[in-house]
Structure 1
Amino acid sequence: MENCMTRYALITGASSGIGLALAEALARRGRSLILVARQRDQLETIALELTQRFGVEVLFRACDLSEPLRLSGFLLELEEGERQIDLLVNCAGLGTCGPFLAQDWGTEQDLIEVNILALTRLCHTLGNLMAIHGGGQILNVASVAAFHPAPWMSTYYASKAYVLHFSEGLREELKKTGIKVSVLCPGLTRTAFFRTAQLAVEKLAHSRLMMSPEEVALYAVRALDKNRAVIIPGWRNRWLARAPRLMPRWMMRKLAGVTTKAYCPR
């Protein structure tokens, strides 16, 4: 009977950007979905649209992952529920830009709660549930930012480095449980992230590195089929990920700082 159960892909940050594009790409393949984000109205509209377009079941849950108590309640629902989740996509993320000491601490804390703590807790809870059912797949979304530090966005870059290293370590740990772990490291992607992080969008709009969320999502789902460990869409982004190995770290920090500061408003 268990093999006949509907299995779901749970996607955080599913109301826009790469998360939404991944939801659409998976729905197109016939996957049933559970969408998670803060904006209930947007999720409801997206769920209805995906159901109508692709004929799949799409559930949604409004949850602010920066609030540990709300996340705890959501995780308890998942543990006590009967729906089997065999794919977790941790796509929710926050960014800040500017001098670290000038940042509002509450905003920095929210970034850490979402980018690191919520992602890790979701992996822990759903990883245990997947192990009980004999396997599953986890896709954590990091960034090419994970491969080097960058002044003026120090917390964001560090959080993505955590996601990369955590995911790679977890991949080895969970192999014998049947759980496959991959990490997606996109570069510049045309999303609302730049506005929320207060980056100068107009300076980035015509960058050759810029990809659409749909391009990133298509590349990601194809790489998931192949069980790739580290997924980097676009040859330019793959080059950027390798570049830090070719120069001294002091030079890498300097170059990253100059580049990042140019896009920060302060």
Structure 2
Amino acid sequence: MPRYALITGASSGIGLALAEALARRGRNLILVARQRDALESIACELTQRFGVEVLFRVCDLGEPMQLSGLLHELGQGERQIDLLINNAGVGTSGPFLDQDWGREQQLIEVNILALSRLCHALGNAMALQGGGQILNVASVAGFQPGAWMSNYYASKAYVLHFSEGLREELKSRGIKVSVLCPGPTRTAFFRGAQMDVSRLEDSKLMMGAEELALFTVKALEKNRAIIIPGWRNRLLALSPRLAPRWLVRKLSAAINKPFAGR
């Protein structure tokens, strides 16, 4: 039975970079995102460049019925998924009470509920087939609270802790679990979250998606538990543990507020 890596949020940014890095290593792929045209183009390009099979499925993970349909299709198929990369994510910024609740709910649906459901469904499939690997994409934001992006930071804290817990639970079933915690990355995320990060464009804090993907794939091969690309990002993840919580809250709020969308 052919084996595949399934990547959500694969039409751009980190997801696309991870898809290319894996295809370069000869991995067959199933790409999931909302944009059919982009997915079709990416699938054709990766197939031609690397000679791998690249399938795609159009799915809005924020819509539970669409996710149910995707999982049903995957469950009925004969393709074995031995690597799940939960990369899809939504971001919002600005005062929480001023946000449209529909957008905040979508963030929770995608960042937390869809990710957990995919881990549950495909994790069970991996257990039956004798093993596999899961990579959940969190953020250095998951190590601290983040005023002006409170819902987003909290969602990434969930992903971080959920992934660490699963890693211990699933070892005995032959399933490896890792969590990726990138810092600021050159993707369309900031535009989607309505954040103005133009001042960071040339900053050394901003990492390219291709560089991040290469680091991540190498770390996955070594079965790293928590993957934090770049020493600056590792420092960002470590610093909240060294300072009192009241100071972490205030510093995070002071850093986030100038970039908030409102």
TM-score w.r.t. structure 1 length?
Answer: 0.98
The amino acid across from 1:199 in the alignment is M
Partner of 2:145: 149
Alignment of 1:25-40 (within 5 A): 25-40=21-36
The Cα shift of 1:265 comes to 3.1
Partner of 1:235: 231
The amino acid across from 1:187 in the alignment is G
**Which contiguous aligned blocks of 4+ residues in structure 1 show a shift greater than 6 angstroms?**
none
Instruction: Choose which of 54, 65, 72 in structure 1 pairs with 2:50.
Output: 54
The Cα shift of 1:201 comes to 2.6
Partner of 2:217: 221
The amino acid across from 2:135 in the alignment is L
Instruction: Choose which of 127, 130, 142 in structure 2 pairs with 1:131.
Output: 127
**What SS is found at the alignment partner of 2:134?**
strand
Alignment of 1:194-205 (within 5 A): 194-205=190-201
Alignment of 1:1-266 (within 5 A): 5-266=1-262
The Cα shift of 1:49 comes to 0.2
Unaligned runs of 5+ in 2: none
**1: distance between equivalents of 2:50 and 2:8?**
20
Unaligned runs of 5+ in 1: none
State the identity as a percent: 76
The amino acid across from 1:51 in the alignment is T
Which stretch of the first structure deviates more once superposed, 141-150 or 201-210?
A: 201-210
The Cα shift of 1:79 comes to 1.1
Contact map agreement 2:193 2:261 (CA 8 A) in 1:
no
Contact map agreement 1:203 1:263 (CA 8 A) in 2:
no
The Cα shift of 1:245 comes to 1.1
Give the count of matched residue pairs. 262
The amino acid across from 1:130 in the alignment is M
RMSD: 0.6
The amino acid across from 2:227 in the alignment is I
Q: Encode CA deviations 1:103-128: one digit per residue, 9 max, x unaligned.
A: 00000000000000000000000000
**2: distance between equivalents of 1:119 and 1:195?**
22
